[in-house]
Structure 1
Amino acid sequence: MPVAPIVLPPLPRLPMAVPRSGVSTDARRALRQLLGDVDRALTTAFRDGADATALAHRRSESVQRIVVHVWTACLGDVSDAALFAVGGFGRGLLFPHSDVDLLALVGPSEPARLRALEQCFATLWDIGLKVGHAVRDLVQCRALAEQDASVFTSLLDARRLVGDPSMEKGLRSITSDPTLWPPAAYLAVRLAERDARHARYNDTAYNLEPNLKDGPGGLRTLDALRWLGKRLAHADDFDDMVAEGLLDPAEKATLEQAEATLRRYRFALHLEAGRAEERLLFDYQRALAERLGFRDEHEKNLGVEQFMQGYYRAASQVERLGVQIAERFEEMLEPPTAPQPVGEDFVRHGKRLAVRDPDLFMRRPAALVEAFIARLGEPGITGFSAETMRRMHQASAVFDQALADDPEVLAAFLRLLKLGAPAVDALWRMNRHGLLAAILPAFGKVFGRMQYDLFHVYTVDEHTMRVLRNVARFADPAAASTFPIACEIWPTLPKPELLLLAALFHDIAKGRGGDHSVLGEEEAIAFGRRLGMPEEDTQLVAWLVRWHLLMSTTAQRQDITDPDVVQRFAEAVDNTERLDLLYLLTIADIIGTSPKLWNGWKDRLLADLHTSTRYALRSEEELPPDAGVRVQHCKEQALAVLEAQGYMADACARVWRAFPEQSFLRHHPEQIAWQTAAILDAKGATPLVAVHPHSVRGATELFVYTPDRDGLFAAVAIMLDRLHLSVMEARILSSSTGMALDTFLLLESDSQQPASTERAEELKQRLHRALSQPGHVHQPSRRSMSRHLKHFQATPKIAFSTTGGRTRLALVCSDRPGLLAAVAQVMFESGVRVHDARIATFGERVEDFFLITDRHDAPLGHVQQDRLLRALLDQLSTAKRA
């Protein structure tokens, strides 16, 4: 984009000062006005489409004029002192609110000179520059550079602005000293710094609020490549690195294009935030997208999503090439080794794989995939040689998406997939080299594709890679303690490549405007046929893609203790092969969406659904056992547990006579045994509050046994909210003697883990005190909404239906602190009883389902439904305004 003409105001005429007299008040005012005029001119030029890099250079030039003027006014023409720009200023780049980093290099300390320097820096601050400065002599500079590689690195960028030219020669003697941070040591420390920096940002370029400067693939990565080029290859810029063979022209163009995008975003972010903000916070993303001209295409391709995709693509390209170039620097420093043959087409040089024939990839494109297969078979290989990577990228660029229709390439790709779990590492590396998108053009479309919500914390391509890695974990026996059922299933899979393909395609159609599962199914069928797979295999992969959300939604939104729910799910799955594959894909998908989503409760939930569905699929003709059989079976197992603990059968039977049948149909025998023991141990004392920190359901279980009353559910929900405990499930039952038999499955709100023993005891004591005062009305606590949630508040959706003599209420809305407590209070005040609740949260989106009745245990009529609807909407809208 051409740079818009920019006319910067000239320096004002300043009164001639007596040397070292400083800058007068009038002169400071004039310089402050000048700086403001420059920044306003640059802002206007950026708004009119000027290039951000050119504007950052222009601002650096303008600030340099001001800094030099102030230095001269304060110090005059001195010897043994010079002022250097360092950091971004040293590289000639200043964004709207960047720090102005300066190094004053001085000779022997003189009090008058130090006072003049203090006056100089104070003046620069006074006129509006955010100055970071250091005052050192050459001995101090050398000592600090010896100790700290970051100081040494800052000197690489140092640029003299004004002062004694001989000081520059002294500074260069430090950076050119071969004994100071020699190449191998400098490379090691830079890579260690990179790894530590990336770890602070979750080791991925795909955070929802990424850091443009210091995050993986950010501008700091590009700076680091230039620093390495200077120190290791005497290459000052990317052009020099091309001449040295460290970059090819196409890679240089990619880096420069990505850098231009990142700089454009950074310039806009500084303007939007009004300060030196480097994080693309939710607070700014929508405004930045609009400022930079991105518009909503449809509800599944928002302007803000397009804007963020631009960032993610640029950052991931920088990150990928940054890793590869660092490997080239490592290779450059490695001693030469004799080549060892690897099959017919490859050789290894130490830890790196190389091609025998430099023209192999151009002559036979299938070798692009075979190179990754060969790498898997060679232990100790850490990468490809620099020349091989270059030729790989050149061939990929030449053939591009023609690879997607090359039968030999597709045959090699299928051979790779058939390796099973080891293929995942190769797929991950192929993605880093851009080869996967060439073979799967649809995958290239979701490269850098984000979804503007708090549920999906990675872009689609990164999420897919993580799902594949999770799948590969199931092949590792060491993971059996974490995923016992999954690790048991994996060795039984006749064709694990089908699961890998389903993982590759399950989200491949995101952002197209339709149902991504349906569109992804079509893509999977087309690709399976291009691969030449048997039609039944293609259809199985397509089915998994189409229904990859089925198991998760069934488990979290429906009551899987209901045989009818399980039977419907079993009919949809149809056979155990599909069930096993879907189970593995579901677990991998949940963990790959966000590590925080997986917990013991979901693990147990999916395991229970898998087990009950396998039972239902044993025979097509077999019907679920009737309620009486299931109740008796539960009682027998629970009694065995209780008798082993020393409880008498007749005492247990007396307790159970008051239990409703639903207790035995909807609870595990272990839960029934635990509840029964608690009741017997209480010897009639109420309210009874029992807490099991780690129940059989994978969560903390709360059992409340007390005389039933309206508002009990609300009182419990309010107390749980005050204790920052999230409700996963609630089952509200009543005994024939008028006692509440309420069960809640809980997780800590922050960690989504079961409560500790100490927290469980705190819950027990505080809830017991609250329930001991039945006349006291507790109100939900009011807590402010997090900054993140404020940006994702959508219109609530509420729907009613009737099932089994009760009203089913479906609530879909944006999450906020205290939501369940507030909803429970509204239901109580509306004369509604809660009998069952299933709570599901997906990022900022809540999907809660309640079984409710009026206070006569009858379904809600239309009038009461309407009254409840209005009350809930009023409560939710009030919370949104707050």
Structure 2
Amino acid sequence: MQAAATGALIDDAAWSVAARTAVALADAKLARRFDAGAPADRLIALRARAVDVQVRAAWQRCFDEAVPLALFAVGGYGRGELFPHSDIDLLVLAEPAAQQQGETALARFNAMLWDAGLQVSMAVRSAQECTQAAADITVVTALIEARPLCANDADVARLADAVSSGHLWPPARFFAEKCEEQRRRHARFGDTSDNLEPNLKDGPGGLRDLHLLGWLALRSFGARSLDQMIELGRLGFDEAAALERERRALCRFRYGLHLVAGRREERLRFDYQKPLAARLGDVDDADSLGVEKMMQRFYRSAAIVRRVGERLLQRFEEYFAGIQPPEPLDTQFERRGDYLATAVSGWLEADPAHVFAMFAAWAATPGLRGLHSQTARELALALPLIPAYDEAPASLREAFMQLLRGPQAVATLERMARLGVLGHWIPAFQRVSGRMQFDLFHVFTVDQHTLTVLRNLASFASGEADPRFAITHLVWPSLRKPELLLLAGLFHDIGKGRGGDHSELGAVDARTFCEAHGLLEADIALVEWLVRKHLLMSVTAQKQDITDPDVIHRFAEIVADRQRLDYLYLLTCADIAGTSPKLWNGWKDRLLADLHTATRLALRRGLGQPVAAEERISENREAARAMLLAEGHDDAAIAAMFARMPQENFLRSRPDQIAWQAASLHLAAAGEAVVASRAMSGRDGLEVLVHMPDQDGLFAAIVMALDRLGMSVQQARVLDAPGGAIHDTFHVLPVDTRQAIEPARLANALAHALVGDVGRMLPARRSQPRHLKHFKVAPQLDFIDLAGGTRIGLVCTDRPGLLADIARVLREQHLRVHDARIATFGARAEDLLLVSDEHNHPLSPERCDALRIALLAVLDGDIA
């Protein structure tokens, strides 16, 4: 008996080895067919069939035909779909007595499959237990797609009855719960498919959204195919064709992802994007990276799935809630529930002008959730009839401009973009739709970034103060024609992906568009200039010292007038804030607001009368003095405070900064160290003052200490104060944006860290984020001699602790730091540092060479 059991185990082991080999050979063959271009939806069916063979064979080894157990494939396997590393979900249907009787054989069956390399998830339930388990919406969803593997007709009928809508989850309730489930699922991904690392299965517009439509069709109508939905009148031929086309595309993405990952992976992470693009045949060219082409196809597929899916879900909603009688709005439009519909079927296809009329009616009717599904389908059919603007009659161009000048202009542009109209009207916009940029700076596709910028502009128009933006609500009312700013926002990135300078290309497109729409030459020139110069204010604020009167004067000369300044300021705020949720902060807000204010004053004064440094110093001293007098300080105390501060500080700082610094010094005796901190105008930034006796390596120690305290330095100004002291100011942000640090707590912690021998302090060691290895920036260094030192221009891959490592090198080279401006653009760091030798002289060529070697050794190290 024991020998027989041992022999059976040996036989099972040999079978599992053979089965593992057979599955591996089948997978390898399917992978070769995939690389040869075979449709992935066919391959997943073939893989399911190959696994069926092994699962049935294992079952037959463990059970004879008389055993009262039935085997079903459920979930995706039940649909007959198996991707290279998908789970294999099984259900054994058996009554309690049969379960007990077959317990040993079931364990043997499960072990054989796992030994064969099949990742099996198996549930054993009676019909009653299936009904009980199906109270969970996830379970019933898997069971309604059950496919018999080793089961007779009676078993199939028994399982179908156990999970039928007569027992639980009637169609209306099933629909409501699955829609809520989808809403929660989409929310996990920010309700957008345009993520940098999208989830191909569960993300918005992914395969799960297609599965949802299938589950609803099956539960509601018993329909197992799109053809059956067409026959029932719930789906159009064109819609079914679109869904099937995108299903095949998404299947190919997911199949390839499993192959390049070598495991079950649904998130298209940076680690896999380039290998997958190469496997799919996408290659780099002069205009685009192969990975960008691949991602654009995915984003477009996901957008179509969402667009058509929303129509179908609306029809399910109407089916369960009942069709409400239409409420006429005028002779062309009516309201059906919360949706806008055309009064006459086919009206949209009769004339492209009707499409623009529909968007005007939509904008004029508050409370609408969207277009009625039938009208949305008619719009999709009418899209090919919409001409490009340069081929359209003047009346149609005027209709578009009326939409831009009318109510809900930005919402209308968003709707037109989402429904495909804007891409037909402006072909250049279609080219950037779904276009991603393979970096960490732009977290949205170009079209979604553009729409986000437009939404930001619309928020400025509300007239309400926004804590994120100091003065945008005050600047907006000065705009002569707000629609010109919307046009600039629409075109500012439209030239991307064509090679060359996208600002220049976009400016040409913007002028051509404006001319075709009959704008006045002055308005055309403004829009063209805004698109061409849309990066100017950002670069000036972040890379130059805007407290320098010469910088302000040069910027004002380019801007030339107050109108351009206001338009450019609003566009810049909207652009930066619309690039990444993490990019905008209180420090950038203050920089741009200060640059706007300083430039406005320079323009008011006149470009022929630039501000002299002495005049700026005098103005700032007097303004700060007035603030301190208001706080109760007398003239003698104020004079004593000012005497401890560097003269240059009155040129480089705002009056409120000077007053705060002076008040901080007042609390300490001369020669004592002062470390102070205060919140900046935004909610997420702090200003730090360090005034203490100078010593070698002090700047490096401060930077390292701030790094250890979880703060990222955005700007540093290092000045020599009277009496051998330093007067250093820093603008810092918490590395963890969820972290709230009180100014007093930060100041105390920093002061404690700077006690003792600061020359021994070393940068903190930490692991580097995984994604940085995919976005390495080749280090670039340049050295320019200026009055009082050498300016180092540094470009490299950003990483935690970068500035602390740079500061350590400067300390080891015995250099003095006088100014530092830190700019980060995704994975790219662009820093400017003004340094000198021990005598405050520019660096000699020999010292520049030594510094270059030392910095490159730090910057060019492998990212772990």
* Shared fold, TM over 0.5: yes
1:414 equivalent to 2:401? Answer yes
Partner of 2:782: 799
SS in 2 for 1:702: strand
Choose from 116, 119, 122 the match for 1:127: 116
Within 5 A, what are the aligned runs for 1:410-489?
Answer: 410-419=397-406, 422-489=408-475
Q: Structure 1 CA distance, aligned partners of 2:128 and 2:92?
A: 13
Partner of 2:177: 189
Is the Cα contact below 8 Å between 1:735 and 1:741 reproduced in 2?
yes
Within 5 A, what are the aligned runs for 1:644-659?
Answer: 644-659=630-645
Q: Structure 2 CA distance, aligned partners of 1:599 and 1:153?
A: 44
Partner of 1:851: 834
1:691 equivalent to 2:686? Answer no
Q: Give, in angstroms, the shift of residue 296 of structure 1.
A: 0.9
Partner of 1:261: 249
Partner of 1:319: 306
Partner of 2:202: 214
1:756 equivalent to 2:765? Answer no
Structure 1 residues 653 and 187, CA gap change in structure 2 (3 angstroms):
same
CA deviations on 1:570-593 (whole Å, 9 max, x unpaired) are 121122221111111111111211
Partner of 1:823: 806
Structure 1 residues 606 and 379, CA gap change in structure 2 (3 angstroms):
same
Partner of 1:5: none
CA deviations on 1:146-195 (whole Å, 9 max, x unpaired) are x2222221122111111232121122224543563233322221111111
CA deviations on 1:252-311 (whole Å, 9 max, x unpaired) are 22222222221112111111111101111111111111122111102x511111122222
Q: Give, in angstroms, the shift of residue 400 of structure 1.
A: 6.0
Q: Give, in angstroms, the shift of residue 216 of structure 1.
A: 0.9
Q: Structure 1 CA distance, aligned partners of 2:380 and 2:289?
A: 32
Q: Structure 1 CA distance, aligned partners of 2:682 and 2:775?
A: 35
Matched AA of 1:45: R
Is the Cα contact below 8 Å between 2:569 and 2:596 reproduced in 1?
yes
Partner of 2:25: 37
Is the Cα contact below 8 Å between 2:130 and 2:163 reproduced in 1?
no
1:777 equivalent to 2:760? Answer yes
Q: Give, in angstroms, the shift of residue 347 of structure 1.
A: 1.6
Within 5 A, what are the aligned runs for 1:559-708?
Answer: 559-620=545-606, 623-684=609-670, 686-694=672-680, 699-708=685-694
SS in 1 for 2:841: coil
Structure 1 residues 163 and 519, CA gap change in structure 2 (3 angstroms):
same
CA deviations on 1:525-551 (whole Å, 9 max, x unpaired) are 111122222222222111111111111
Partner of 2:132: 143
Q: Structure 1 CA distance, aligned partners of 2:609 and 2:533?
A: 24
1:391 equivalent to 2:378? Answer yes
SS in 2 for 1:643: helix
Matched AA of 1:155: L
SS in 1 for 2:667: helix
Q: Structure 1 CA distance, aligned partners of 2:513 and 2:682?
A: 43
SS in 1 for 2:300: helix
Partner of 1:498: 484
Structure 1 residues 621 and 841, CA gap change in structure 2 (3 angstroms):
closer
Is the Cα contact below 8 Å between 2:585 and 2:682 reproduced in 1?
no
User: Which region of structure 1 is more displaced relative to structure 2, 789-798 or 688-697?
Assistant: 688-697
Is the Cα contact below 8 Å between 1:95 and 1:270 reproduced in 2?
yes
SS in 1 for 2:317: helix
CA RMSD of aligned residues (A): 2.3
Q: Structure 2 CA distance, aligned partners of 1:278 and 1:763?
A: 42
Q: Structure 2 CA distance, aligned partners of 1:313 and 1:280?
A: 15
Within 5 A, what are the aligned runs for 1:42-191?
Answer: 42-78=30-66, 80-110=68-98, 111-145=100-134, 147-178=135-166, 180-191=168-179
Structure 1 residues 62 and 797, CA gap change in structure 2 (3 angstroms):
same
Partner of 1:880: 862
Partner of 1:8: none
Q: Structure 2 CA distance, aligned partners of 1:644 and 1:369?
A: 59
Q: Give, in angstroms, the shift of residue 847 of structure 1.
A: 0.8
Is the Cα contact below 8 Å between 1:57 and 1:94 reproduced in 2?
yes
Matched AA of 1:813: C
Q: Give, in angstroms, the shift of residue 521 of structure 1.
A: 0.5
Structure 1 residues 244 and 583, CA gap change in structure 2 (3 angstroms):
farther
Q: TM-score, normalised by structure 1?
A: 0.93
Matched AA of 1:113: G
User: Which region of structure 1 is more displaced relative to structure 2, 340-349 or 360-369?
Assistant: 340-349
Structure 1 residues 412 and 245, CA gap change in structure 2 (3 angstroms):
farther
SS in 2 for 1:703: strand
Is the Cα contact below 8 Å between 1:217 and 1:319 reproduced in 2?
yes
Q: Give, in angstroms, the shift of residue 17 of structure 1.
A: 12
SS in 1 for 2:335: strand
Gap runs ≥5 in structure 1: 1-15
SS in 1 for 2:224: coil
Partner of 1:6: none
SS in 2 for 1:595: coil
Q: Give, in angstroms, the shift of residue 331 of structure 1.
A: 2.8
Q: Structure 1 CA distance, aligned partners of 2:682 and 2:667?
A: 20
Q: Structure 2 CA distance, aligned partners of 1:516 and 1:583?
A: 20
Partner of 1:3: none
Choose from 325, 329, 345 the match for 2:316: 329
Choose from 4, 14, 25 the match for 1:26: 14
Q: Structure 2 CA distance, aligned partners of 1:375 and 1:144?
A: 45
Q: Give, in angstroms, the shift of residue 399 of structure 1.
A: 4.2
SS in 1 for 2:737: coil
SS in 2 for 1:593: coil
Q: TM-score, normalised by structure 2?
A: 0.95
How many percent of aligned residue pairs carry the same amino acid? 47
Q: Give, in angstroms, the shift of residue 74 of structure 1.
A: 1.2
Q: Structure 2 CA distance, aligned partners of 1:804 and 1:827?
A: 19
Is the Cα contact below 8 Å between 1:79 and 1:163 reproduced in 2?
no
Is the Cα contact below 8 Å between 2:70 and 2:150 reproduced in 1?
yes
Is the Cα contact below 8 Å between 1:733 and 1:741 reproduced in 2?
yes
CA deviations on 1:8-28 (whole Å, 9 max, x unpaired) are xxxxxxxx999x999633222
Q: Give, in angstroms, the shift of residue 358 of structure 1.
A: 2.1
Structure 1 residues 752 and 744, CA gap change in structure 2 (3 angstroms):
farther
Q: Give, in angstroms, the shift of residue 246 of structure 1.
A: 3.1
Q: Structure 2 CA distance, aligned partners of 1:65 and 1:868?
A: 67
Number of aligned residue pairs: 860
Q: Structure 1 CA distance, aligned partners of 2:495 and 2:830?
A: 24
Q: Give, in angstroms, the shift of residue 488 of structure 1.
A: 2.2
Matched AA of 2:587: W
Matched AA of 2:352: P
Q: Give, in angstroms, the shift of residue 402 of structure 1.
A: 7.6
Q: Structure 2 CA distance, aligned partners of 1:631 and 1:78?
A: 99
